[in-house]
Amino acid sequence: MNFSPLITPISTATYPPEFQQLLREKTENFTGRQFVFSAISDFLDSHSRGYFTIVGTPGCGKSSILAQYVTAHPRSIYYNAGVEGKNRSHDFLASVCTQLIDKYLAANAETSEIVKLRSQIDNLESDEGNWFLSLLLQKVSDQLTDRQKLIIVIDTLDAIALTSQPPCTNLFYLPRYLGDRTYFILARRPFLKEKSGLLIEAPSQLLDLRDYPEQNREDVLNYIQQYLSTAPELAQQLATVSENNFLYLSQMLPAIVGDSQPDANLGETSSLLSELPPGLAAYYQNHYQQMRGDGFSPVELAVVSVLAKSRSGLSVSAIGQIIDEDEYDVEKALDNWCEFLNTQQIAGEICYSFYHSSFCDWLSQQSI
């Protein structure tokens, strides 16, 4: 099969070196997501400041969306808490404050003032971060024209080490109040509202990618067709199997492209789909470790085992009956794993399932 994904060269030079390779990887073969970019643009145009948050299950393309956005808007400030060693508040403050100085303040301030600001970053304690970040944001806001906007993009908020800052403080000390023309664009996995980790007094909007199945499928099809331009039927079948998950496709497509013929159908590639590439298996292993933590309780172990065998979704009461455990304990376990779960209304009840069938299959094969 002809393997010819589209490649668009991009520049990442305006961003910290530790993020440049990630940005290149996340924007390679990027396609679609226009409905997200339109929503961001509408929010920026409709509010003088604010927080815009993209929410989605693992692998649905959140990081790629933000990477594409910042490469198209090089004056943006970018940070990714999912990069190894970058999930602590001190690292975030040092990186973002440095970017603010370099991109917005250095050209319009006395050298002595910039030197002073840089020295404050070097000696900044995490618990001082709130006032210093807010100070820099205000300095930048004051010098912007009415048509300019300061945009700070933060990916993978769910990876933040909460122990790196005092309880009841905003994630990464993000400011509760924002000055005019100042915006934060965030991405994270699903979370309970009461555990958002943010208290803000500014306009905000949340876009949950799960609420756009038709647009997601269209973008998934476009992504697949970069690889399988001569096999439209197979592309449709793979889009269904992928469940609109871009990471799953990015791992599976190279194997399918390498071994299939242009007129292949899903039945002929089923053996390939049943064998997970090492990268996808490692991704699922990471999920499992996050869910497991220091070890599953007996109730948690039973809930995982039941959900791993389910494809249609189960209610809390149904799970409780199957494992003969109190519904409160079942719900508590599910709340801890909400980032890996899908929910849907079935017969008036909220039902839970793991976010992807492939992850279910992988779990069912583990010695849990």
DSSP states of 75-124 as a string?
TSEEEETTSTT--SHHHHHHHHHHHHIIIIIGGGS-HHHHHHHHHHHHT-
Region 343-356 average pLDDT: 91
For residue 160, tell me if it sits in a domain.
Answer: yes
Q: Which of 186, 211, 236 is the last residue of a domain?
A: 211
As to burial, measured by CB atoms within 10 angstroms (0-12 exposed, 13-18 middle, 19+ buried), residue 9 is exposed
Q: Which of 135-139, 188-192, 252-256, 299-303 has the lowest mean pLDDT?
A: 252-256
Integer-rounded Cα radius of gyration of the chain: 22
Only one residue has tokens 């220091």, namely 294
The pLDDT assigned to 346 comes to: 87
Centre a 10 Å sphere on the Cβ of residue 198 and count the other Cβ atoms it contains.
Answer: 15
Mean residue pLDDT of the chain comes to 87
> One-letter amino acid identity for 77?
I
The yes-or-no verdict on residue 262 having pLDDT over 50 is no
For residue 162, tell me if it sits in a domain.
Answer: yes
d(CA 332, CA 351): 14
Q: What's this model's pTM, rounded to 2 decimal places?
A: 0.90
Assess whether 183 and 55 both reside in one domain.
Answer: yes
Assess whether 142 and 288 both reside in one domain.
Answer: no
Assess whether 165 and 26 both reside in one domain.
Answer: yes
d(CA 306, CA 333): 13
Q: Which domain holds residue 327?
A: 280-364
For residue 12, tell me if it sits in a domain.
Answer: no
Q: Which of 159-173, 178-192, 327-341 has the lowest mean pLDDT?
A: 159-173
Assess whether 226 and 188 both reside in one domain.
Answer: no
Residue bearing the bigger pLDDT, 146 or 60: 60
Region 99-123 average pLDDT: 81
For residue 4, tell me if it sits in a domain.
Answer: no
Region 92-116 average pLDDT: 85
